[in-house]
Amino acid sequence: MGGLAMSATSVLFDAPGPRARRASLVGSIVSGIALVAGAAWIVALLAAPRQSGGITLPGMFDASRWDIFLDPEVWTFIGAGVVATLQAAAVAAVGAIALGVVFSLMRSSQLPWVRIPTAVMLEFFRGMPVLLMMLFILLVASTGAFWAVVIALIIYNGTLIGEALRAGLAALPRGQREAALSLGMREFQSKLLVEFPQAFRQMLPIIVAQLVVLLKDTSLGYIVGYNEIIRSNMNNLASFFGNRYLFSLFIVTLVIYLTINLLVSWFARWLSWRTASGGHLTKDVGAAPGTADPTSTIRLMQASAAARQSEDTRHG
Amino acid sequence: MAQLWSLMPQFWEGLRATLLLLAVSGGLALVLGTLITAMRISPVPVLRWFAAVWTEVARNTPLTLVFFFTAFVLPMLGFRAPFLLLAFVALTYYTSPFVAEALRSGINGVPVGQAEAARSIGLGFGQTVSLVVLPQAFRMTIPPLINVYIALTKNTSVAGGFFVVELFASTRQLVNDNGNIVIPILVLAAALYLAITVPLGLAAVQLEKRWVVSR
């Protein structure tokens, strides 16, 4: 049972007896062998020398395809690409959270002439590709590639973070706001000092998950001409050292991205686990069982559904 | 206006390619994602582990890098195919973990009591899954799945950077050729994307609402 005990699947079948355990073991061994064989096949395919126009080229794991990584200058160059990516991501992350706060406050405003245009604007930004937005900024505002990437990411992710925060605000128990108002706070004070901090904490895992998306999306800079990791590794380095290194450079780029993203993802999961275990609001937002699974879409969906419900009871 | 109107054939061509990318990679991703989910909840530990690794790796790789692999590295390795086909591969691979997560959270979202009740009235594994768990899981899966497809619609634009002439690529071309009406062209392109994503989003909201009431 072990690992599956938390999910619903474990109640689907009886505790395995000797026969079921044997079947599971056999299944494990068979699929394990199939997976290892598949992996070995791919590795063998990659390692085999290849023929191209009568010339035999070395396999993908041949030292002659990897020797550039002994050169510290190559690593300096790769480091510059990593810094460029992180720089764009950091500036965009700060901007996106700030814009998200503003959007969420505007979107949940009491004034219809603020709330409704904001809703339309958010819908507009949310529905189009970030890449198109980058192109727009690049051509119309003619900023450099860096700012085109950063501003588009700020607008796009700010919209999504704003939507998450709004859902968090609306899903708060109404008593919070009533208590604040009865203490004599103004609407805006209550929102800023009482409701917002709680919503922010509640939605923190979703915000961090969105920042992973933002980090991944900086790679779109490749298409609009910003020298981030992919462009600096795969375009500049590969064309400098030749096509021979395309595969090894790809692997290095992939490993760099996976390392950064997995670290941030795990941080998001840890945060989500922390807020889920400590936050007393969890039961209001995620009434459904099985919310131990920190899938952000589901959490956001539940939050926005709860928000909609409480809005319906408030206005209707 | 007349000039913008004269560009319609190119817009239409781009939009058609975008819709094709959406339909084909969406369908393939659904198949692959279902397979991954099946592995993820299967009683065989090796398959569970493989599905978890697949999900984690595919989710944390930028789409641009996936496209780079299919468009440049694969042909270098001797795997040659039309770029449209390679774009299907890239989008399917990238979307599959998101589909799998949506499906899995739907299955996990069915209260344990439902399966327990089914078991206690004597239903077997097949009956419990097909009659009690899956119908409920399916309903809860639809709204997040729609969100995955909205994201896919927007992601097809990345194919435009890798030799596939879809809406983004044809927009870029049109902007280059018609420097005097840059803003109208870009706004029209955005409107065409919105024409796909907004109805999907509204459908998701409607279904979500119904789902909440039914609980």
**Residue A307: what pLDDT?**
63
Q: What is the pLDDT of residues A41-59, one digit of tens each?
A: 999 988 888 777 777 788 8
Chain B positions in Cβ-Cβ contact with residue A132 (cut-off 8 Å): 157, 168, 171, 186, 189-190, 193
For residues A3-31, give the mean pLDDT: 71
**Residue A303: what pLDDT?**
67
Q: Is the pLDDT of residue A154 over 70?
A: yes
**Residue B142: what pLDDT?**
87
Chain A positions in Cβ-Cβ contact with residue B43 (cut-off 8 Å): 13, 16, 20, 24, 27
Q: What is the pLDDT of residues A216-231, one digit of tens each?
A: 999 999 999 999 999 9
**Residue A8: what pLDDT?**
42
Kindly give, in sequence order, each residue whose CB lies less than 8 Å from that of residue A264, ignoring residues fewer than 6 positions away: A208, A211, A212, A215
Q: Check B108 against A304: CB less than 8 A apart.
A: no
Q: Which of B79, B212, B213, B215 to probe the A interface (max A CBs under 10 A)?
A: B212
**Residue A93: what pLDDT?**
96
Kindly give, in sequence order, each residue whose CB lies less than 8 Å from that of residue A94, ignoring residues fewer than 6 positions away: none
Mean pLDDT of chain B: 90
Report the residue of chain A nearest B186, measured CA to CA. A136
Residue A171 and residue A303 in contact, taking contact as beta carbons nearer than 8 Å: yes
d(CA A27, CA A129): 43
d(CA A288, CA B208): 14
Per-10-residue mean pLDDT of chain B, 215 residues long, equals: 87 95 96 91 86 93 95 88 95 96 85 87 84 83 90 95 94 91 93 94 84 57
**Residue A10: what pLDDT?**
60
Chain B positions in Cβ-Cβ contact with residue A288 (cut-off 8 Å): 109, 111, 215
Q: What is the pLDDT of residues A163-190, one digit of tens each?
A: 999 988 888 888 999 999 999 999 889 9
d(CA A63, CA A49): 12
Share of chain A above pLDDT 90, in %: 41
What band does A235 get if pLDDT is binned at 50, 70 and 90?
Answer: confident
Chain B positions in Cβ-Cβ contact with residue A11 (cut-off 8 Å): 112, 115-116, 119
Q: Is the pLDDT of residue A97 over 60?
A: yes
- Tell me whether A230 touches chain B (CB under 8 Å): yes
What band does A2 get if pLDDT is binned at 50, 70 and 90?
Answer: very low
- DSSP annotation of A60 reads T
CA angle B121/B126/B130 to nearest 5° reads 90
With tokens 């005990």, the residue in question is A5
List beta partners, residue A56. Answer: A51
**Residue B204: what pLDDT?**
86
Q: Check B171 against A222: CB less than 8 A apart.
A: no
Q: Is the pLDDT of residue A122 over 80?
A: yes
Q: Is the pLDDT of residue A316 over 50?
A: no
**Residue A304: what pLDDT?**
67
Among B46, B201, B211, the residue with its CB nearest the CB of A35 is: B46
**Residue A287: what pLDDT?**
35
Mean pLDDT of chain A: 83
Q: Check A293 against B183: CB less than 8 A apart.
A: no
Q: Is the pLDDT of residue A6 over 50?
A: no
What band does A295 get if pLDDT is binned at 50, 70 and 90?
Answer: very low
Chain A positions in Cβ-Cβ contact with residue B190 (cut-off 8 Å): 124, 127-128, 132, 136
Q: Which 159-198 residues of chain A touch chain B by CB within 8 A?
A: none
Q: Is the pLDDT of residue A252 over 80?
A: yes
Q: Is the pLDDT of residue A291 over 60?
A: no
For residues A229-256, give the mean pLDDT: 89
DSSP three-state, residue A251:
helix
Among A7, A139, A219, the residue with its CB nearest the CB of B62 is: A219
**Residue A15: what pLDDT?**
73
Q: Is the pLDDT of residue A289 over 50?
A: no
Among A247, A258, A290, the residue with its CB nearest the CB of B57 is: A258
Chain B positions in Cβ-Cβ contact with residue A257 (cut-off 8 Å): 60-62, 65
Q: Which of A4, A19, A31, A262 to probe the B interface (max B CBs under 10 A)?
A: A31
pTM: 0.85
Among B101, B107, B157, the residue with its CB nearest the CB of A132 is: B157
**Residue A1: what pLDDT?**
37
Read off the amino acid at residue A107: R
Q: Is the pLDDT of residue A13 over 70?
A: no
DSSP three-state, residue A308:
helix
Nearest Cα neighbor of A290 from B10, B215, B76 is B215
Chain A positions in Cβ-Cβ contact with residue B77 (cut-off 8 Å): 46, 60, 247
**Residue A312: what pLDDT?**
53
Among A31, A123, A250, the residue with its CB nearest the CB of B198 is: A123
pLDDT higher at A56 or A123 = A123
d(CA B90, CA B93): 5
- Tell me whether A267 touches chain B (CB under 8 Å): no
Distances in whole angstroms, Cα of residue A135 to Cα of each of A142, A157, A227, B21, B52: 9, 16, 16, 21, 36
Q: Check B212 against A250: CB less than 8 A apart.
A: no
Q: Check A250 against B182: CB less than 8 A apart.
A: no
**Residue B209: what pLDDT?**
79
| Min Cα–Cα distance to chain A from B108, Å | 6
